[in-house]
């Protein structure tokens, strides 16, 4: 009798653990899929007929016949910025497939500071074919970002709703 009771208790607990592990794995792979999707859209690896933008909550994708929305994971926040010397455009919500920056394929030194002015990252990024640098940041924080290129400097502050920063004038 005790054995049957233990078996009846063991099976539901085992199924619950399997379900939770499956959900965790699915969430992780979903986050990876979102990173891949952003990269592929930003680098025009899909059809050129696809248009996409990203705000603080979703990726919006349209093609000739339909539109899609992809929720961002709760802790994921993506921004893109385009340092420039001579020419820029106004932007608040980043177009992953349409925004074009002036400085194409340039190595830019970037320092990211948190709200307490602690340096959290110092790295050289390449602007890529679209002239933008994309960063994944903590959604809760505001950041101060310092940008340097060939002795020219600029800085800007982020906010948790804006995903595109194009007024990063190097001087």
Domain architecture of the chain: domains with CATH? 74-169 (2.60.40.3700)
Q: Where is pLDDT greater, at 32 or 83?
A: 83
Q: For the whole model, what pTM was predicted?
A: 0.79
Residue with more model confidence, 27 or 84? 84
The mean per-residue pLDDT over the stretch 60-75 comes to 89
Task: Determine the pLDDT at residue 151.
Answer: 97
Residue 79: pLDDT above 90? yes
Cα 167 from Cα 25, distance rounded (Å): 39
pLDDT tens across 110-126, in order? 999 999 999 999 999 99
For the chain, give the mean pLDDT.
84
Answer yes or no: is pLDDT of 9 > 80. no
pLDDT digits (tens, 9 = 90+) for 127-168: 999 999 999 998 778 899 999 999 999 999 999 899 999 999
b/e code 106-118 from CB counts within 10 Å (16+ = b): bebebebbeeeee
| Whether residue 52 has pLDDT greater than 70 | yes
Per-residue pLDDT band for 11 (boundaries 50, 70, 90) equals very low
Q: Where are the beta strands (DSSP E) in the chain?
A: 51-54, 58-62, 67-71, 76-84, 94-95, 107-113, 119-126, 133-138, 144-149, 152-157, 164-169
């Amino acid at each position: 009798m005790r054995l049957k009771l233990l078996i009846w208790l063991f099976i539901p607990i085992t199924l619950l653990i399997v379900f939770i592990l499956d959900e965790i794995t699915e969430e992780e792979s979903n986050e990876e899929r979102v990173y891949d999707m952003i990269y592929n859209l930003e680098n025009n690896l899909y059809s050129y007929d696809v248009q996409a933008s990203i705000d603080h909550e979703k990726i919006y994708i349209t093609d000739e016949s339909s539109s899609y929305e992809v929720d961002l994971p709760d802790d994921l926040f993506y921004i893109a910025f385009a340092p420039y010397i001579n020419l820029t455009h106004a932007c608040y919500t980043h177009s992953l497939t349409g925004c074009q920056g002036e400085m194409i394929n340039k190595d830019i030194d970037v320092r990211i500071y948190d709200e307490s002015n602690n340096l959290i990252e110092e790295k050289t990024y390449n602007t890529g074919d679209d002239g933008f640098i994309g960063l994944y940041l903590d959604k809760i924080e505001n950041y101060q970002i310092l940008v340097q290129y060939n002795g020219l400097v600029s800085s800007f502050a982020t906010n948790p709703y804006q995903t595109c920063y194009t007024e990063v004038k190097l001087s």
